[in-house]
Structure 1
Amino acid sequence: MDRFHQMNPFAKRDSHSASSVVWYKILTLASWLLSVIVTVYYTFEPPHDGKHHRGTIWHQNRDHHSGFTLNPIITSIYWIVLFVLQLGYISHLFSSKTESVNAACAVGSHFILNNLLHFGFVMLFVRSHFVWGEVLLLVNFANLTSLYFRHNAYARFIHLPAVSGPLAWTFVAVYWNGAIMVPHQNSLVARIFANIFVWSILAYGGFFIVLYKDYTMGFNLSVLSASLGVAQFFRQVVALQWIFAFTIMAVLFLLTVVVAVPAWTGRQVPWGGTAERREPDAERAPLLAE
């Protein structure tokens, strides 16, 4: 078992050897660049291979209307900010502080896998391989969920870009791609199911806000709910989906503020406990309560 633990890249460790840190630096940066490049490229250029219907990411989003169609502008801003924050996370692998390096390495294997799965999903999505794309999303959802529950008390510079940001997106993307994947996505039955399942975003975000006092998940999901609401409004004004999406956005944002303000000021949240432990070094102050 000890040998398996040493060989398992996803095992939880408090420290890392010099050689493993070097590999984390190389693989994390390389996988992040792969994820960024393919996302940016296929935002503007469609693939030129294969026999299936092909298109850019947002052409696919536009051509396959569903109850989970997203707004390109808001979602793109979400990803731009996330990529920039992830670059900040990667920079801590090169820090002179051992604590920062070990903390960044602790989530490194999951982060690398997330980047590779995101790369694979984009490659499949723009080529209309939605079923296989959904499989990769579900695998990544399991990967990021495992990461969250095993490493949910790291500092903000790790938690937001490497954990909650990708997890919130993957949760919404499962519905986004899943709605495209099913046949007759604009039928009455599909719309009814969309009207029901959209509330899972509120339930999911509320779970993390209430139990873990994680305001980053609340904010991430509120932004993605806004993207959904705007897209659905311009798609069909007389419909329930955009009303539901904006309601979810408002509730999540309100809950986020209720938790975030005490976290920033060191006060108690309304349902007990502190939202974060305060330390002299604000950057290293853990985000979540134990």
Structure 2
Amino acid sequence: MQFGYITHLFSGKAENVYAAASVGSHFILNNLLHFAFVMLFVRSHFHWAELVLVLNFVNLSSLYFRHHTYARFIHAPAVSGPLAWTFVAIYWNGALMVPHQHNLVARVFGNIFIWSILAYGSFFIVAYKDYTMGFALTVLSAAIGVAQFQRQVVALQWIFAFVIMALLFVMTVVIAVPAWAGRDLRWRRTAQTDSERAPLLTE
């Protein structure tokens, strides 16, 4: 997907080049920070890796709120996709960072915090009608569910993960289908027309 984003830097359309170039600095910083995270993670430096993830989360959040209106073929690979992954990675790496992560208290907190994925995704779906963020978090929730199921069948977290996946998927489809069909989905009733509000005319 990032390769597709890079190709738009060489597009023949000026608006595509401008949009791709506008997110370029954040895109480069994201890749550098992600590389740093991987190097720290594989060496089990989880505390430093968490710091890098938080910095990248700030970087990508700033990018999102400044440039969330760009075309989806730029938005998804350079903005919403990396942001969704970084948000989930903060919890993933954070769980590894905490000592005694297999005890009851850690599991309870894990079962609570996993619902933040639903809250986070719902915010972008409702506030920005961003189905790319919804799809990204849906896939990540499914991945968590599969991983937790393979790790421990008798547990709640994989059930919660699949429930979150299903809810995000439904909300995302509700937003995505009208967008693909060229219709604007409105959450509120439109105001009545002037003719409907006008008083009846007497003859």
Task: Answer whether TM exceeds 0.5 for this pair.
Answer: yes
TM-score, structure 2 normalization: 0.91
Amino acid at match of 1:166: P
Which one has a larger percent helix, Structure 1 or Structure 2? Answer: 2
Alignment match, 1:112: 28
Show the counterpart of 1:70: none
* Greater than 4 Å deviation, 4+ residue runs: none
Structure ID, larger Rg: 2
- Residue of structure 1 aligned with 2:57, choices 141, 150, 156: 141
Task: Report the residue type matching 1:239 in the other structure.
Answer: A
2:153 maps to 1:214: no
**Matches of 2:69 and 2:94, distance apart in 1:** 31
- 1:268 deviates by 3.3
How far apart, CA to CA, are the structure 1 residues paired with 2:25 and 2:138? 28
Structure 2: stretches of 5+ with no match in the other structure: 190-203
What's the TM-score once normalised by structure 1's chain length? 0.64
SS of equivalent residue, structure 2 residue 34: helix
Matched, 1:245 2:161: yes
Matches within 5 A, 1:189-228: 189-228=105-144
Aligned to 1:14: none
State the alpha-carbon separation in 2 of the partners of residues 97 and 212 from structure 1.
26
Q: How far apart are 1:234 and its partner, in Å?
A: 1.2
Q: Please state if 1:152 is matched with 2:68.
A: yes
Q: How does 1:27-176 map to 2 (within 5 A)?
A: 85-176=1-92
Aligned pair count reads 189
What secondary structure, in the 3-state scheme, does the structure 2 residue paired with 1:267 have? coil
Which protein, 1 or 2, shows the higher relative CO under an 8 Å CA cutoff with sep ≥ 6? 1
Match of 2:199 in 1: none
1:272 CA drift (Å): 4.5
Separation of aligned partners in 1, 2:36 and 2:144: 23
For residues 111 and 188 of structure 2, what CA distance do their matches in structure 1 show?
A: 33
Query: Quick one: which amino acid aligns to residue 83 of structure 2?
Result: L
Give the RMSD, CA atoms, in angstroms: 1.1
Taking a change above 3 Å as real, the CA distance of residues 264 and 147 of structure 1, as seen in their structure-2 partners, is same
Give per-residue Cα distances to partners, 1:199-240, cap 9 Å, x unaligned.
Answer: 000000000000100011111001000000011111111111
Paired amino acid for 1:135: L
| Structure 1 residue 151, shift from structure 2 partner | 0.4
Q: Which runs of 5+ in 1 are unaligned?
A: 1-84, 274-290
- 1:260 paired with 2:176, answer yes
List per-residue Cα deviations over 1:90-143 (Å, max 9, x = no partner). Answer: 011112222211111100000000000000000000000110000000000000
